[in-house]
Amino acid sequence: MLKKLKNILPESVDYKVIGDSDIKINNIQLDSRKVKANDVFVAIDGFAMNGHKFIPQAIAAGCICVVSEETISTQQEGVCYIVTEDSRMFLGELVNNFFDRPSQQLKLIGVTGTNGKTSIATVLFKLFKILGHKVGLISTVENLVNDKVIESEHSTPDAISLTELLSQMVDAKCDYAFMEVSSHAIHQQRIAGQQFAGGVFTNITHDHLDYHETFKEYIRVKKMFFDQLPKSAFAITNVDDRNGELMIQNTKAKVIKYSLRTLVDYKAKIIANDFSGLQLDINGQEVHSRLLGKFNAYNLLAVYATAEQLEFESDEILQAISRVAPVEGRFDVIHGKGGRVGIVDYAHSPDALEKIITTIKSIDISKELIVLIGCGGDRDKAKRSVMGKIAASLSDTVIFTSDNPRSEDPDEILKAMHVDLSKEEEEKVIEIEDRGQAIKTAVKISKPGDIILIAGKGHEKYQEIKGVKVPFDDKEKLTAHLGQNDI
């Protein structure tokens, strides 16, 4: 679609135009390798690479407009140059104008926090489909436009991909869109220019400190999302988390609170919690869900609150909740031979790992628990010893194995997981680097009735080793071994 550049320039960002903006543009690009004739190239000084270095390549590929944060010393005839102090913010506004501001044409809800983002966004997507609406989903697991699957590699796409995805949802007549909003996306302004009808805060714990460096900065970035919500939006926060009140301190949005411990806007009580699901009392009404565990009680309460704030009736919300299937890779239960129970979960932070193990024990403390866990390479190194300690202290047997080592040596990651272990905890540990062999061993050493938790990768269908994504599916491997008599 061709649009005149001058007609889509931002109104809320300062910039200077050098050259002719009365030109028709074909597309907007961040990657110089994707530039084609009549495109705009936006140069961003990124986390790993500075896009300003690739301006010559973008011009050579046919771009007719360059957006830059740096002064243009040499200008090429026929190219329009735009200089701004904030390329990211400029990009967000520009691309939203280019795609006719799709977030304003549907109800966009953002879910942020350390744990629970995928579950809440996905359950909302499923629930609203049950309620009869066309819906979009933007998550770590996948992006969906109604039933059309668009694979994703990040919690939140870049500003261009995100706006294009929302535009596809508008074209597909979606009424609502639910998306995970990661701290990286907030900090890098990938959501700049989007209009949210509501935001949900789950919780905040130790994670992503390889990027944010301090926990205080991580909190500050998460809070920015709520600070930026408009007055017309709602902000739903978990006040059982110690930072739940902080998140909504400066928001202009309507504040809604949920809790399992305090009488606030939305209160839930767990009536029953077993491997068949949860029985909850939400604001005085009972509902059964196929989702398991206390953390899912929080997730379902946030889902209920969101749906009611979007003006749905309580009865229809509860009926739909009872029909929602569990989210893949999130407390994903597999019933095996001999009464063995296998669980696949995405828990890859200390808090998430502790919660999943504690939840399993709260359901059945009489069973032996085998935990298999690894830690990702090229990520927050400080949490490796913490996760090793949690797994070894809370399980009967623990297997340390490889997760996604990425560019790191798996042996070095495994060594770090042992650092804080006591002699007694070390005696519980089996170390098997090969993840496939580790899962096979976990089942082989289990006894009838034992519980086996495979943590860390959840829904992922690969292992990333030395820059290569090798096909690997925890649930597929565990299911195969749990269903065999001779292992």
User: What's the number of CA atoms in the CB half-sphere (13 Å) around residue 21?
Assistant: 14
Q: What is 102-321's CATH number, 2.40.50.1020, 3.40.50.150, 3.60.15.10, 3.40.1190.10?
A: 3.40.1190.10
Distance CA 228, CA 267 (A): 26
Give the pLDDT confidence score for residue 49 in this predicted structure: 85
Report which of 336, 332, 233 is spatially closest to residue 292, judged by C-alpha positions.
332
Domain coordinates in residue numbering, the chain: 3-87, 102-321, 332-482
The CA angle 379-382-388, to the nearest 5 degrees, is 100
Residue 18's contacts (CB-CB under 8 Å, 6 or more residues apart) are 72, 75, 80, 81, 82, 83
Give the pLDDT confidence score for residue 48 in this predicted structure: 73
| Per-residue pLDDT tens digits of the chain, which is 487 residues long | 799 999 999 998 999 999 999 999 999 999 999 999 999 999 998 867 899 999 999 999 999 999 999 988 788 999 999 999 999 999 999 999 999 999 999 999 999 998 899 999 999 999 999 999 999 999 988 899 999 998 765 556 899 999 999 999 999 999 999 999 998 899 999 999 999 999 999 999 855 455 545 888 889 999 999 999 999 999 999 999 999 999 999 999 999 999 999 999 999 999 999 888 999 999 999 999 999 989 999 999 999 999 999 999 999 999 999 999 998 898 999 999 999 999 999 999 898 899 899 999 989 878 899 999 999 999 889 999 999 999 999 999 999 999 999 999 999 999 999 999 999 999 999 999 999 999 999 999 999 999 999 999 999 999 999 989 999 999 999 999 998 544 4
Report which of 54, 55, 65 is spatially closest to residue 19, judged by C-alpha positions.
65
Q: 3-87, superfamily in CATH?
A: MurE/MurF, N-terminal domain (3.40.1390.10)
Distance CA 237, CA 218 (A): 17
Q: Do domains 3-87 and 102-321 have the same CATH topology?
A: no
Give the pLDDT confidence score for residue 487 in this predicted structure: 43
The pTM (predicted TM-score) of the whole model is 0.84
Task: Return the number of other C-beta atoms located less than 10 Å from residue 444's C-beta.
Answer: 12
Whether 219 contacts 252, CB under 8 Å:
no
Q: 332-482, superfamily in CATH?
A: Mur ligase, C-terminal domain (3.90.190.20)
Q: What is the 3-state secondary structure (H, E, C) of the chain?
A: CCEEHHHHCCCCCCEEEECCCCCEECEEECCHHHCCCCEEEECCECCCCEHHHHHHHHHHCCCCEEEECCCCCCCCCCCEEEEECCHHHHHHHHHHHHCCCHHHCCEEEEEECCCCHHHHHHHHHHHHHHCCCCEEEECCCEEEECCEEEECCCCCCCHHHHHHHHHHHHHCCCCEEEEECCHHHHHCCCCCCCCCCEEEECCCCCCCHHHHCCHHHHHHHHHHHHHCCCCCCEEEEECCCCCHHHHCCCCCCEEEEEECCCCCCEEEEEEEEECCEEEEEECCEEEEECCCCHHHHHHHHHHHHHHHHCCCCHHHHHHHHCCCCCCCCCCEEEECHHHCEEEEECCCCHHHHHHHHHHHHHHCCCCCEEEEECCCCCCCCCHHHHHHHHHHHHCCEEEECCCCCECCCHHHHHHHHHCCCCHHHHCCEEECCCHHHHHHHHHHCCCCCCEEEEECCCCCCEEEECCEEEECCHHHHHHHHHCCCCC
Q: How many angstroms from the chain centroid is the CA of residue 345?
A: 14
Report which of 215, 210, 205 is spatially closest to residue 382, judged by C-alpha positions.
210
Distance CA 139, CA 154 (A): 8
